[in-house]
Structure 1
Amino acid sequence: MSFFNWLNGNEETQKERRKEVREAEGRVDTEFAAEEAHLDLREEELDIHKDRVETGDVVLHKDIIEEEQTVNVPVSHDQVIIERREVDHEPSDEPITEEETVHIPVTAETVDVDKHTVVTGEVSAHKRSVEETEQVRDVLHKEVAEVEEHGDTDIVRED
């Protein structure tokens, strides 16, 4: 037995060693199988689903505030002016009577305040959809075929 034969063992032992390695690695030994063999190659793809979730809300409401307002309104009223003057003792044909009354109506403007409501503005709200791009990252796995050649092989690759 030569040194190389002793080192490598005989051909039968080498085949057994390769078969044990393939079985340990989960590979199928097709040495005694049919003329053809195949591998299914798989890879992962991303399944992306979008859900609409509530992220907040907007509430429109009115508050009532009080604001005091001062308005100057011009008003008028009657003023009675009493004037006395001396007369030079002029003669009169009328006798002196018991009573004589003069009635003078006096008027004044009064301010009456009422309130009424008017529309001074409007607030409206609406939603719109805005599209953005969000980047997602993940690690995907993919199976690829590797062809190993051992010894003298004649392989034709048809890709």
Structure 2
Amino acid sequence: MAKTMQPQELIDSAVVDPTGTKLGKVGNVYLADSTRQPEWITVKTGLFGTKESFVPLSGAHADSDGVHVRVDKDAVSEAPRIEADGHLSSEESARLYKHYGLPMPRTSPDGRMDDRAQGRGTGRSEMDSAAGGKAGGRDRDRDAEHSMTRSEERLNVGTEQVETGHVRLRKYVVTEEQQITVPVSHEEVRVEREPITKGSGGKAEIAEDETEVVLHAEKPVVNKETVAVERAKLKTENVTEDQTISGQVRKEQFEVTDDSKHRKS
């Protein structure tokens, strides 16, 4: 559901073009001098939102998901680069209107826009001064003339999941030489002699004779078998580490110049 656009509520809102593409977030809101109504917004784009482009609010409406504008992303990215310093000159306004193909508003013939609302809660003095019938309106007007809002940029850093590489586990076959010592035995022949006493041997005669003994020996026999010895698997685990992210941010500083101290009384 569309809602009325209030300057203080537009800050940091999402900006969406007619195709539904998100252009960025609202950085500053510029009010028309004559109507004190929002006329332009700046959209934070680029890395860390360091760039700001002017986008017209003509025909735009605020919804629950952000500010819907009538210009597309290409027109915003090609818009003239103008410093978002809180004031638009008539020449700068004319350049922007010409770029977006919009007519100069009748309520602001010179094209000047002034006073930006920065941060939530600011811009209240601009809205109250427009309602001149309220009590205390003039006092608030005077306060607004002598007040200034200081703003600064801040880094918003998040994380996203990205693919960093692939890890593969495979097995392959290698051949290696192994040496195993195995004890083996064999038979040997030893000749034992013993004397024969008289009367213990038989009848003796001289003749040729022979006898034979079969010798045995062990020899190594090699057999191979395949056995499972180890299992490996891939498993991921989360490791948290600190990384330092740097980026340039801008901020405003106050400087007060008082020349009354140099005057002679």
Q: Which one has a bigger Cα radius of gyration? A: 1
Provide the TM-score with structure 2 as the length reference.
Answer: 0.29
Does 1 or 2 have the higher relative contact order (CA < 8 Å, sep 6+)? Answer: 1
